Amino acid sequence: AQTVTQSQPEMSVQEAETVTLSCTYDTSESDYYLFWYKQPPSRQMILVIRQEAYKQQNATENRFSVNFQKAAKSFSLKISDSQLGDAAMYFCAAGGTSYGKLTFGQGTILTVHP
Amino acid sequence: DTAVSQTPKYLVTQMGNDKSIKCEQNLGHDTMYWYKQDSKKFLKIMFSYNNKELIINETVPNRFSPKSPDKAHLNLHINSLELGDSAVYFCASSQPYRTHTEAFFGQGTRLTVV
């Protein structure tokens, strides 16, 4: 069983600044993956970044990076040089390797101020 | 050449009706899913199929019946629609075995029951 918790319902950031979205999880699986998805108003679910739990190195994708603390079961997303297009709902998700189903957090609405 | 496409994008129907949502993926993935996003934006898995076989059924009412004619298609049929069925339904696909890909989502179907 997996649970994912996002404790920040809303966050805001100034354009060009940095913001960090928090996520904690719990899982009984020994091998799992963690994801951040972005959902803009168009409602399309867009993968932002993924992290394999067996990798110690934090994943990075351009302006997006994660801070993966396996012992603490924490998986935060850092967005650097925030842009207006980053405004969206962000979902943290955990997936096991057995069936691949994703368990999502409650989501964080990110507002970017010009 | 959309990776995961679902139709229709919007569906408005009366209580008691039966409706279907279709989904197709051209990614060659073995596993497909249906997720439900409720009015509070919470995403939860409903079903998962692997190579046309049902592998996950997350306590969804019997009025919901998924059908997978082949591994590229997963349709969702809903009988006797109720007001509480109003939500956004997402189809997704992934390759959780071997390559452990992330889930790719369709654009969602907003179902409104009146």
pLDDT in tens, B65-102: 999 999 999 999 999 999 999 999 999 999 876 666 78
Give the residue with greater pLDDT, A31 vs B18. Answer: B18
What local confidence, expressed as pLDDT, does residue B99 receive?
62
Q: What is the pLDDT of residue B98?
A: 63
A99 pLDDT tier (thresholds 50, 70, 90): confident
Partner residue facing A97 (CB), from B33, B43, B96? B96
Q: Which residues of B touch A107 (CB under 8 A)?
A: 41-43
Buried b (16+ CB within 10 A) or exposed e, A68-98: beeeebebbbbbeebeeebbbbbbbbbbbbe
Task: Give buried/exposed letters for A40-52 (b at 16+ CB in 10 A, else e).
Answer: eeebebebbbbbe
Percent of all residues in chain A with a pLDDT value above 90, rounded to a whole number = 82
Give A-chain residues touching B104 at CB under 8 angstroms.
47
3-state SS, residue B97: coil
Report in angstroms the alpha-carbon separations of B58 from A71, A101, B102: 29, 11, 20
Contact B48 A100 (CB under 8 A): yes
pLDDT at A60 over 70: yes
Read off the pLDDT of each residue in B10-23 and give the average, rounded to a whole number: 98
- DSSP conformational letter for A85: G
Q: Which residues of A touch B43 (CB under 8 A)?
A: 91, 102, 104, 107
| Residue A105 pLDDT greater than 80, yes or no | yes
B59 touches chain A (CB under 8 A): no
Chain A: closest CA distance from residue B79 (Å)? 25
CB A46 within 8 A of CB A37: yes
Report the residue from B41, B55, B92 with minimal CB separation from A99.
B55
According to the model, what pLDDT value does residue B100 have? Answer: 67
Report the pLDDT value the prediction gives residue B21, as an integer from 0 to 100: 98
What kind and span of H or E run contains A54? none
What is the distance of C-alpha A85 from the center of its chain? 16
What tens digit of pLDDT does each residue of A20-54 get? Answer: 999 999 998 888 899 999 999 999 999 999 999 98
Residue of B nearest to A45 (CA): B105
Distance from CA of B76 to the nearest CA of A (A): 17
Percent of chain B topping pLDDT 90: 79
A2–chain B Cβ distance below 8 A for any pair: no
What's the mean per-residue pLDDT of chain A? Answer: 94
